[in-house]
Amino acid sequence: METKSTSAPKFSTKTSGRAEPALLELFTDSIKDIYWAEKHLVITLPKMKEAATSKELAAAIDEHLTQTQGHVARLEGVFTLLGVAPQAKKCDAMEGLAKEGEGIVESTEAGTATRDVGIILASQKVEHYEIATYGGLTQLATTLGLDEVADLLAQTLAEEKDADLILTEVAENSVNYKAAEEA
Ligand code: FE
Ligand code: ZN
Ligand code: FE
């Protein structure tokens, strides 16, 4: 966690008091963290799409890649509202989740539904990490009186939840069954 203080925000919040600058700094650092994570996903999602065999899975990943580019842009909107220059701070969690996904691809055979199952498992861990992050940060933005920021984060939260549901559908409708047949 970064401990140096940042410059004063260019907005006023509903609340005041000594605790607030530290809380705002924690919030801003968390935005920098998820900004790194989203940018990292823009790089890793095409690799997962390439590794997928099922057309439904490849299409789901491709659609979420487009959404993820929108998540990056939305976070840039958040930085603007905060009066802070966009800055990515390495997200150790997302780096690890992405590595796990790549490890699953390496340890499964190309062209198999088993690999697709692994890609879905890894992808849903990513979505749940994002859901946890955006859920918490939406609440925190509201607490800080940053309603416009909360609105942007809530829009992304809804898309992350949709992505998770679509992955569940792809698994249940075809991929899991095909992988069980393969065994
Ligand atoms: Fe995202
Ligand atoms: Zn993180
Ligand atoms: Fe996502």
| Greatest C-alpha distance within the chain | 61
CB 137 within 8 A of CB 152: no
Q: What is the pLDDT of residues 153-172, one digit of tens each?
A: 999 999 999 999 999 999 99
- How many angstroms does the Cα of residue 87 sit away from the middle of ligand 2? 14
Query: Can you name the CATH fold of 20-178?
Result: Ferritin (1.20.1260)
Ranges of each domain in the chain? 20-178
Which of the four pLDDT bands, split at 50, 70 and 90, describes residue 90?
very high
Nearest ligand to the CA atom of 126: 3
- How many angstroms does the Cα of residue 125 sit away from the middle of ligand 3? 10
Q: Which pTM does this prediction carry? A: 0.88
- How many angstroms does the Cα of residue 100 sit away from the middle of ligand 2? 15
| Least confident range of 13-17, 81-85, 129-133, 152-156 | 13-17
Supply the pLDDT for residue 27: 98
Q: What is the pLDDT of residues 27-59, one digit of tens each?
A: 999 999 999 999 999 999 999 999 999 999 999
- How many angstroms does the Cα of residue 130 sit away from the middle of ligand 3? 6
N-term to C-term CA, the chain: 45
Is the torsion defined by CA of 119, 125, 131, 134 positive or negative?
negative
Q: Is the pLDDT of residue 63 over 60?
A: yes
- How many angstroms does the Cα of residue 69 sit away from the middle of ligand 3? 10
In this structure, the number of other CB atoms found within 10 A of the CB of residue 110 comes to: 8
- How many angstroms does the Cα of residue 161 sit away from the middle of ligand 1? 10
- For residues 171 and 120, give the distance between their C-alpha atoms in angstroms, rounded to a whole number: 7
